[in-house]
Amino acid sequence: MNIASTEVVIVGAGFSGLAAARILKQSHIAFEILEARDRLGGRVYTKKFDQGYYLDFGGQWIGPTQDRMYALCEEYGVSFYETYNQGKNILDLKGKIKTYSGVIPKLDLFSLLNLDWVIRKLERLAKKIPMNSPWTHPKAQKWDHMTLEDFLKSECKTNSSYAVLRAGCETIFACDPEELSFLHALFYIKSGTSLDCLINIKNGAQQHRIQGGMQLLAEKISEGFQEDIHFNSPVKQILTRENGYTVFTSEREIICKQVIIAIPPPLLKEIGFQPALPQTKTGLLENYPMGQVAKCFLIYEKPFWRTQGFSGQSVSDENTPYQTLFDCSPSDGSKGILMGFSIGSRARNLFKLPKEEREKTMRKVANRYFGPMADDYLNYEDFFMTDETWSQGCYAALMQPKAWTSFQDAYRNSVGNIHFAGTEAATRWHGYIEGAVLAGEAAAEKVLQNLDS
């Protein structure tokens, strides 16, 4: 067993761990990052293909009010571009296809009014949620004991408004609404500014993409401390000693004074803590599963749908496996890339099929939307983060009903000098890359404060 010592061990080289490391490096504090995978980025993963394109299998968009992300892009000289957002969108309900422009699909008047009313109600309720302590809201008990589905079922008065809202909510929260605490849904909306901001491309969370893929930014951030990153090093055990901690991988023991843990919450259960973590934290972990999102891609010579006046965006009920489609082509349009989000039970069902069947399924959907040119694609790819040992899902872990009121902020509280980062420790932009960065930076600040005291 190789034994080493350092001031701080950071577990996980996703954006959160890297953001923490960046601050420690600037403050001249010695650290090691232990990363289970053989790559950086975690839930951000840009795969490059020989045919000269790349796909963002994980997080890819940034948007207004994600100030740390824009600041990091500027600092590391990484450029970004506008997500393509022109032309007609497609609404696929009950097997019928309609087109519409803007954010709200074309429905009958009563459904449209109802849709607008429910969205406004969600905005109004979310605005009042205390972002740092959602469980202190006077209606917290009631809302935390309901699911998002309970809310949708009681407020949506037509099948169409329900179907559209459900597909939208599934895309935002990354789960079936039955699986989510309504209080968590409201917290998540407030954390990401507003529902309007979460839904939109223009002036919203999907406004920009990173030129070269999101993982490029992670790589740039790590350039100043590459020698401090140990890949293929899953942390197995963390032992508390008199003056600090011993962190174990299967091959190394690292003695340190403080630890930052920046991993998806369910993976905490895989690390043996001695002594065990407090019961509030372990209890929460039993009620805090990851969301489930698959990305499916058809790659074309050109984004041909643009010349037909389509944006490449769609919303669909469960007649297709994809809640939404987006145009994810490179900024110069040198390839046409259609991306389908398959989420929650739709994703679980889709990924029971072999890859050839999944490919056929997406081709058929694209053909229904954009005609026979959709059959003439170069390649199909898909990726389900749930199948990744070191993520187990995405976009983030989700509070099940009763979790907020039972466990409150147990996840993000430090235990001694073990600090918890990762996007799930963020109050602002919780679940997003911005949140991961904010939480990583906050954990690094805690380390620095402890050193000063």
Residue number, 93 or 394, with CB nearest to ligand FAD = 394
Closer residue to ligand FAD (CB): 110 or 231: 231
* Selected binder of ligand FAD within 22, 23, 43, 336 (CB under 6 A): 43
Query: Ramachandran region of residue 193, left (φ > 0), alpha (ψ -120 to 50) or beta?
Result: left
Residue 194 assigned to a binding site: no
What contacts 282, CB < 8 A, 6 or more positions away?
269, 276
Torsion of CA 175, 180, 185, 188, to 10 degrees: -70
> Does the protein bind ligand FAD through residue 188 (CB under 6 A)?
no
Q: How many CA atoms lie within 13 A of 165 on its CB side?
A: 29
| Residue 341 marked ligand-binding | yes
Find the part of the chain contacting ligand FAD (CB under 6 A) among 8-16, 21-29, 86-94, 240-248: 8-16
**Total interface residues for ligand FAD by CB under 6 A:** 41
Give the strand pairing for 54-56 and 46-48: antiparallel
Pick one of 61, 173, 288, 370: the residue that binds ligand FAD (CB under 6 A).
Answer: 61
Q: Which of 235, 277, 397, 399 binds ligand FAD (CB under 6 A)?
A: 235
Q: Is 384 in the site for ligand FAD (CB under 6 A)?
A: no
Q: Which one of the spans 9-17, 103-111, 240-248, 329-337 is the region binding ligand FAD (CB under 6 A)?
A: 9-17
Read out DSSP for 378-402?
SEEEEEEGGG-TTT-SSS-B-PPTT
The answer to whether 367 and 374 are in contact (CB under 8 A) is yes
277 contacts ligand FAD (rule: CB under 6 A): no
Respond yes or no on whether the N-terminal peptide bond of residue 275 is cis (omega within 30° of 0): yes
Question: In the complex with ligand FAD, which residue's Cβ is closer, 12 or 244?
Answer: 12
Give the HSE-up count for residue 429: Cα atoms under 13 Å, Cβ half-sphere. 23
Q: What's the min distance (Å) between Cβ of 286 and ligand FAD?
A: 18
Contact with ligand FAD (CB under 6 A): which of 100, 117, 225, 390? 390
Whether the Cβ atoms of residue 337 and residue 55 lie closer than 8 Å to each other: yes
Q: Do the beta carbons of residue 439 and residue 422 sit within 8 Å?
A: yes
Q: Consult the annotation and say whether 233 binds a ligand.
A: no
| Residue 17 vs residues 8, 66, 177, 222, 440: alpha-carbon distances, Å | 12, 18, 30, 10, 6
> Candidates 24-32, 134-142, 183-191, 428-436 — which segment interacts with ligand FAD by CB under 6 A?
428-436
Alpha-carbon 33 to chain mean position: 22
DSSP string, 133-167: -GGGSTTHHHHHTSBHHHHHHHH--SHHHHHHHHH
60 binds ligand FAD, rule: CB under 6 A = yes
Residue 415 marked as a ligand binder: no
The CB-of-174 to ligand FAD minimum distance in angstroms stands at 8
**Other C-beta atoms lying within 10 Å of the C-beta of residue 344:** 22
Kindly tell me which residue out of 8, 9, 10, 12 binds ligand FAD, with binding defined by CB under 6 A.
12
Task: Decide if residue 264 touches ligand FAD (CB under 6 A).
Answer: yes
Q: Which residues are annotated as a binding site?
A: 16, 35-36, 235, 341, 424
**Residues near ligand FAD (CB under 6 A):** 11-17, 34-37, 42-44, 58-61, 234-235, 262-264, 267, 270-271, 293, 295, 385, 390-391, 394-396, 422-423, 431-434, 436
Annotated binding site for FAD: 16, 35-36, 235, 424
- Residues tagged in the binding site annotation for substrate: 341
